[in-house]
Structure 1
Amino acid sequence: MTTPPTEAAAVAVVYAIPVSIYLYRDLTWSTLSDVIWKSAQIAGVLMLLIFFATTLARLWTFEEVPQQIMAGLLAISSEPIILLLLINLMLIIIGMFMEDVSGILLGAPLLLPVAIQAGVDPIQFAAIMGVNLGMGLITPPTAPILYFAALIGRVGIGGMLAPTLVFVLFAYLPVVLITTFVPIVSLWLPTIVLGI
């Protein structure tokens, strides 16, 4: 029997509260209400972002924006390699300015037709989206994951920026290119599990 993600998250929260209070002693019963309030604020903001991103994605679909983007990209080049590089560039830019859920909701309906036109399997496109949006989350100007890591590590953004850009250049960028141009990397597990 499998546990749905929502129930698993609820169990994890119920487990984490006493562990944080009694084992790690980072949380007290008096500060628990502040933690719950801040968590509710963050969840509320994320829900609003998801709502508006979904609404915008549907509006773009009704206005045939994906078809216009596909026509524009195909006007630049019909070569699959160029199309995939353009898709990667657009996804990194989307990832730089919004978090991953909104990026997926906005980018998937816009770029999936172009990816299919370039001969990319939808499962591989999902992997390409995940890797690119993840890279965008640590890339300036907004870099929300970088700011979050700076808060946790109590380090200034200036001290993190140079190592992060080295990491992006020598670690993340090769992963993006491998995921994009070597389909077996993202398709081997679905092939084994789903038999596709």
Structure 2
Amino acid sequence: MEIFILAISFIILVGIRVPVAWSIGIASLITLLFSIDSLPAVATIAQRMVTGLDSFSLLAIPFFILAGHLMNSGGIARRLIVFAKSLVGSLPGGLAHVNIVAAMLFGAIAGSAGAAAAAIGSFMSSKMEEEGYTKEYGVAVNVTSATTGLLIPPSNIFIIYSLASGGVSIGALFLAGYIPGILTGLILMIIALIWAKRKGFPTAKRASVSEVLKSFLDALPSLMLLLVIIGGIVGGIFTATEASSVAVVYCLILGLIYKELSLDKLKGILIKSAETIALVMILIALSIAMSWVMSYADIPEQVTSALLGYSDNPIVVMIMINLILLVIGIFMDMTPAVLIFTPIFLPVVTALGIDPVHFGVIMVLNLCIGLCTPPVGSVLFIGVGVANTSIKKVIKPLMPLFVGMLISLMLVILFPKLSLWLPELFGL
């Protein structure tokens, strides 16, 4: 009964254009009102929001968001693009490959697909258009490649999954995302290569060894942040939360050294970061409240029984779950989707012997596809906005890249070692 009340009320609220965060909170409250009186129901939702945010691990998210904004304004994106161009600019359709590699590098450092799409897209959009690429193709490459930064650590969404799953190791999740993230980027590059040969896109002159070395040394301080963060977490020097604060200090110092940050610019960065953090945290708080309501109503147990009653074959169940997640990703942003559906699906997959770390990577990769699809694809909207075009025009060049992301997802589902080899190697 409760599952239908929750689902129907949420769909209606979203359908009448109530913001997703408030739709989650109101649907949770409506569902709870069928079990308890109004005053305790409102108090319970508020209490669950506050206690849900009372987590040391969640402190990493505001710091990583601030670090991402500092990177975006501190000259890091431009240096990574120059380095990427020296590596892959000479391939057929070179600027598409530059976009993909730069997005992987920047997303890996910033941990945000939106930040990568905005930073790389604002620089690459005009460059690609000048060299004969269509604006819409540039957007398609930008938004799909930007999602790789959610898999390649550090990644805010893995921190959220760790919270939703009840404490899966953040370090293990970070390491597990490397190979699937790089694999997704390589598949996108293969598709870009095929597309470039079909369309006759231009090829840049091959960079000399000295040019590659120069661009690498220029980008090295930015790339070192990856070593500092991941090395520190895996080596047990600091936690993910402490690593996020180290990232802020590192990015601030780097921006000052590059002379691309000033006090006036820093004030704007702090304000923009605060706005982003407020939006993310209210979404997290309300999603945690909904997760509690679902647990109170035994919805995860009902879903587990239904899915396992249909089939006990892990592949069949994983395909069913992934089809559901693909649909969810079209209509719901990634953060609430992870917080709401992890407690529902994780008991199902663990009952079938699937590793929670492996499932976390599958879930994030699956929902990355939703970030590039209308009507709620936040990264798609950022990419379209930066390039000043329309979603309708971008859909056609997006389709081959969607297929590439789906291929990557299927490979990660079928070969768990793609996710688990690195965590096992480091004993996590």
Per the shorter chain, which TM-score range? 0.7 to 0.9
The C-alpha deviation readout for 1:3-30, integer Å capped at 9, x for no partner, is 523313422552476478x44xxx8765
Residues 41-60 of structure 1: matches in 2 within 5 Å? 41-60=275-294
| 2:380 is equivalent to residue 146 of structure 1 | yes
Counterpart in the other structure of 2:356:
122
1:99–1:144 Cα contact (<8 Å) kept: yes
Identity of aligned residues (%): 28
Q: Secondary structure of 1:194's match?
A: coil
The letter of the residue matching 1:5 is A
| Structure 2 counterpart of 1:73 | 307
Structure 1 segment 37-116 matched on structure 2, within 5 A: 37-116=271-350
Asked if the contact 2:330–2:370 (Cα under 8 Å) also holds between the matched residues in 1, the reply is yes
Out of 397, 400, 418, the position equivalent to 1:185 is 418
Q: Give unpaired runs (5+ residues) of structure 2.
A: 1-231
Structure 1 position 5 matched with structure 2 position 243: yes
CA distance in 1, matches of 2:321, 2:315: 10
Letter in 2 for 1:179: V
Cα distance in 2, alignment partners of residues 89 and 125 from structure 1: 14
Q: TM-score w.r.t. structure 2 length?
A: 0.41
Do 2:333 and 2:376's aligned partners in 1 also have CA atoms closer than 8 Å? Answer: no
Counterparts of 1:172 and 1:53 in 2: how far apart (Å)?
A: 27
In structure 2, the CA distance between the partners of 1:31 and 1:123, relative to structure 1 (3 Å rule), is: closer
Task: Tell me: higher relative CO, structure 1 or 2? Use CA pairs within 8 A at least 6 residues apart.
Answer: 2
Report the TM-score, using the length of structure 1 for normalisation: 0.83
Deviations 1:56-111 (A, max 9, x none): 11221122111111122223333322211111112223322333232221121110
1:74 partner amino acid: L
1:87, 1:115 within 8 Å by CA — same for their partners in 2? no
Residues 35, 10 of structure 1: alpha-carbon distance in 2 compared, 3 angstrom cutoff: closer
Q: SS state of the match for residue 6, structure 1?
A: helix
Amino acid aligned to 1:55: A
Instruction: Answer whether contact 1:139 1:165 (CA < 8 A) is retained.
Output: no
Per the alignment, do residues 10 and 156 of structure 1 end up closer, same or farther by CA in structure 2, a change over 3 Å counting? same
Matches within 5 A, 1:23-38: 23=260, 33-38=267-272
How many Å separate the matches in 2 of 1:12 and 1:133?
A: 30
Give the number of aligned pairs.
190
RMSD over equivalenced CA pairs, Å? 2.5
Answering whether residue 389 of structure 2 is matched by residue 155 of structure 1, we say yes
Distance 1:109 1:15 in 2: 40
- Stretches of structure 1 lacking an aligned partner (at least 5 in a row): none
Distance 2:382 2:332 in 1: 14
**Cα gap change, 1:28/1:11 in structure 2, threshold over 3 Å: closer, same or farther?**
closer
